[in-house]
Structure 1
């Protein structure tokens, strides 16, 4: 492909940069030297005219001895050398000041933008600096104008280069015949690689979740597109492990129609320098605050003072509001706290920490004030409480060895306030037959606890017979 006239002119300027400038300075120096000798010649001619005037001739005749002195001066070799030295010094001074007068003005410009020319749709280039340092050389007025306007280019022309690694000379656009440019660096090493393009699935990813209140629940983001195009060098594209649309949730008011920037990452989570189209995706996120109010239940541990039983346990608050995913909240009907009677203060009070359940984001309180009220212990006997047989395999049948063992009496101890509210139906006496086979067994009796009440069945074991 033929280069444009502009680039051909630039090449001629580069060639002239060193040789042409030196040649021009040498020519000007020679001309100045010739002028210097012309001045000396004119000076000597004037002296000759002065010496050959009639008055000077008359003086010579009057003072013929001066002619002898003049001849002696011309024949004196030492004096002639001194005269030659004076002429040489004059010549040197002329050359020195000629260079000084003609010395070119220069100014440095750091970090001047570097322009590059190549097919950006099909190739990518590594090794291109963004800026270079330059020195403008020439007439001061033109240098100052060029520096102020900055209307010239420092460029790298890569359009004719094939894929691979190349050493490239940097060029500059024409600045005029009296201006030159020195570029640092003047050459660069670049690697040209063909571009490849693939489709890649994109996923949404929240950031700054720690900046929003736990009571808020974010829905799954809805992205405008499922895939994006990844474009870059083959070696870089092969490293793409994931593509994510980043959603900043620090401002919840913007999440209904959020413009999420898209980035590509390698398997270590590092961002990759590739082109992504589109590089932003519209994301929609719903913000809700699902909640549920559940009661708090106290589980009393420890023993009451001698002769007393727990009449009631007053909780403040008695219920708690849970925030979280709707399906997670459905798993909770109540929250329990442990009330250790040994930890009560002199007022029979205690502050208990309420543990946040799993999958619950937030609670409206995390502590409960407990007040325990005691009464003198009373006794109550419930007769003929039914015994329940549990967890027996369906292929077996069970019966008690003695019919009287199917019912038993239960003694309750506690405050009368609580005992008066308990009936036979509230007391659960059972026998667990899980894993039992056919045969005759003596099985322990279990009683379901009632808060604040001591329950004592009339029998601790029951004889049963299991058959097929």
Structure 2
């Protein structure tokens, strides 16, 4: 009887083991272990504040990503998304220049990392610099006929720009652009300023301490008037003036509109008429009224 009981117990244990084996087999067939690759996972930059304390910034890459290959039960893998996998780099302890930084991957419980790429990311660290730059006024368009621009007055005359050294060094000019189309009177405007490179393209990633400036541009009127020759003295009795002329016979003057309007000619300084007996060509200065050039 004891032998029968012992055999019966052995059969029960064997049956239990077989049941467990069969259950494991069935479960593995219904929820097998699989692998999958999740691409373009954004990499989180940690300890950025450490860089800032060193006066450094990340120049590139701007948005690094990695591809991660994971394994786990099919049911578990079907539940995870790209947001459930964390890729990060620690930016503390690096200096200016190109540096390879290792990538660390964190996955949910029950998921294993098989592989990921890249394992290191090449970062370019650049120093943060501040630089004073003069402001240049550039004009577009054509003035009204017979008018010309004088030297512009800018307030302020310069600004400070700030950013990664590589980008700041690419700045060629700080430009205030003024439209002068058909203008005949003085121009007083507030215009935005642009930061441009040698080819006139906007430089991005560089900040400025001011976005607009005040520009005043005086405008003078142009006018062409004849030259009036002034003489002094008296010729001897046997001499007379047959003809006297200036070369050129006219001159273009410029000045404020209210001054130019009343000028019909420009006089020469007085010429001693007797000096023309031996030399019939002389150079003489012009008497320009005040405010006329």
TM-score (norm. length: structure 2): 0.50
Alignment of 1:35-434 (within 5 A): 38=18, 101-104=31-34, 106=36, 108-110=38-40, 112-117=41-46, 118=48, 119-120=51-52, 122-135=55-68, 137=70, 138-139=72-73, 143=77, 146-147=80-81, 150=83, 153-172=86-105, 174-180=106-112, 183-206=116-139, 209-210=140-141, 220=152, 222-223=154-155, 226-233=158-165, 237=168, 240=171, 242-247=172-177, 249=179, 256-258=189-191, 260-263=192-195, 265=197, 275-278=206-209, 280-284=210-214, 326-329=219-222, 331-332=223-224, 398-401=235-238
Q: 1:350 — aligned with what?
A: none
Following the alignment from structure 2 to structure 1, what is the Cα–Cα distance between the partners of residues 68 and 180?
Answer: 49
Following the alignment from structure 1 to structure 2, what is the Cα–Cα distance between the partners of residues 221 and 183?
Answer: 60
CA 1:434/1:98 → structure 2, altered by over 3 Å: closer, same or farther? farther
The structural deviation recorded for 1:244 is 0.8
The structural deviation recorded for 1:228 is 1.0
The structural deviation recorded for 1:435 is 7.1
Paired positions, count = 219
Following the alignment from structure 1 to structure 2, what is the Cα–Cα distance between the partners of residues 218 and 397?
Answer: 45
The structural deviation recorded for 1:214 is 5.7
The structural deviation recorded for 1:186 is 2.6
The structure number with the bigger radius of gyration is 1
CA 1:102/1:141 → structure 2, altered by over 3 Å: closer, same or farther? closer
Following the alignment from structure 1 to structure 2, what is the Cα–Cα distance between the partners of residues 250 and 133?
Answer: 53
Gaps of 5+ in 2: 1-14, 182-187, 243-272, 281-293
The structural deviation recorded for 1:327 is 1.6
The structural deviation recorded for 1:132 is 1.7
Larger RCO (CA within 8 A; separation ≥ 6): 2
CA 1:102/1:283 → structure 2, altered by over 3 Å: closer, same or farther? same
Say which structure is richer in helix: 1
Tell me, what secondary structure is at the counterpart of 1:160?
Answer: coil
Note the alpha carbon deviations across 1:235-283, whole angstroms, 9 max, x for none.
665565x4414547599xxx9554x2542535x65665663332x4223
Following the alignment from structure 1 to structure 2, what is the Cα–Cα distance between the partners of residues 391 and 217?
Answer: 30
